[in-house]
């Protein structure tokens, strides 16, 4: 299967999923709901970095649909001079659901502790993928306590967890939205 399509299919399956995680730090509990929307795939995949291709500025939901239909493939985007900037995302992003199903570490993300980064997010999840950390940044949607995956990439030289406040995972539940079926994946 085309590796761009594999990532999109994994993400598409998450659109019908909600994760609810309860975390705590010093007796302060936070209940997070993580949801997924087609528009978010563009940024997670890093397609905005491919500035020499039209998909960099095209409608994000439409680009996602074209990837799923096979109109945009890995061969399409590998024409970009910047493809090496996102090459390390393909394999872990095609396993995003497995990463989210794992018992990851959660941090309150404070951008001021990473002044060279432009990432705006409230929380940072780190999960292991084949012996390397993968960063999943969460930010708030317009509704309180509803979050989405703002950014995603494997750890390279920079450790984004340095100086961040680590939270303890207390409970994690995964719900299939269409059926309402829930599975508690972790409970402390």
Spatial CB neighbours of 56, under 8 Å, sequence gap ≥ 6: 47, 48, 49, 50
- CB atoms closer than 10 angstroms to residue 54: 10
Distance CA 54, CA 58 (A): 6
Distance CA 16, CA 35 (A): 8
Residue that has been written with the tokens 């060279």 in this structure: 116
Of 110, 112, 133, residue with least CA distance to 121 = 110
Distance CA 37, CA 148 (A): 8
Q: What is the pLDDT of residues 130-166, one digit of tens each?
A: 999 999 999 997 766 689 999 999 999 889 999 999 9
pLDDT at 103: 87
Distance CA 115, CA 119 (A): 10
Residue that has been written with the tokens 């761009």 in this structure: 4
Q: Is the pLDDT of residue 178 over 80?
A: yes
The CA–CA distances, whole Å, from 70 to 2, 65, 137 equal 9, 9, 28
Identify the three-state secondary structure at position 171: strand
Residue that has been written with the tokens 């730090």 in this structure: 25
Q: What is the pLDDT of residues 31-89, one digit of tens each?
A: 999 999 999 999 999 999 999 999 999 999 999 999 999 999 999 999 999 999 999 99
Distance CA 26, CA 9 (A): 39
């Amino acid at each position: 299967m085309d590796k761009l399509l594999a990532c999109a299919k994994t993400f598409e399956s998450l659109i019908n999923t909600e994760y609810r995680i309860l975390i705590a730090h010093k007796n302060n509990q936070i209940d997070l709901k993580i949801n997924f929307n087609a528009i978010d795939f563009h940024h997670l995949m890093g397609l905005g970095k491919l500035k020499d291709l039209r998909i960099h500025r095209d409608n994000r939901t439409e680009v996602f649909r074209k990837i799923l239909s096979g109109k945009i493939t890995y061969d399409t985007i590998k024409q970009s001079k910047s493809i090496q900037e996102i090459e390390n995302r393909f394999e872990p992003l095609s396993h995003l659901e497995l990463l989210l199903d794992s018992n990851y570490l959660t941090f309150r993300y404070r951008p001021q502790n990473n002044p060279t980064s432009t990432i705006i997010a409230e929380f940072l999840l780190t999960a292991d993928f084949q012996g390397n950390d993968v960063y999943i940044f969460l930010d708030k949607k317009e509704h309180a306590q509803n979050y989405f995956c703002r950014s995603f990439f494997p750890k390279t030289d920079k450790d984004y967890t340095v100086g961040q406040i680590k939270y303890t995972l207390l409970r994690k539940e995964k719900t299939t939205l269409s059926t309402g079926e829930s599975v508690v994946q972790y409970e402390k």
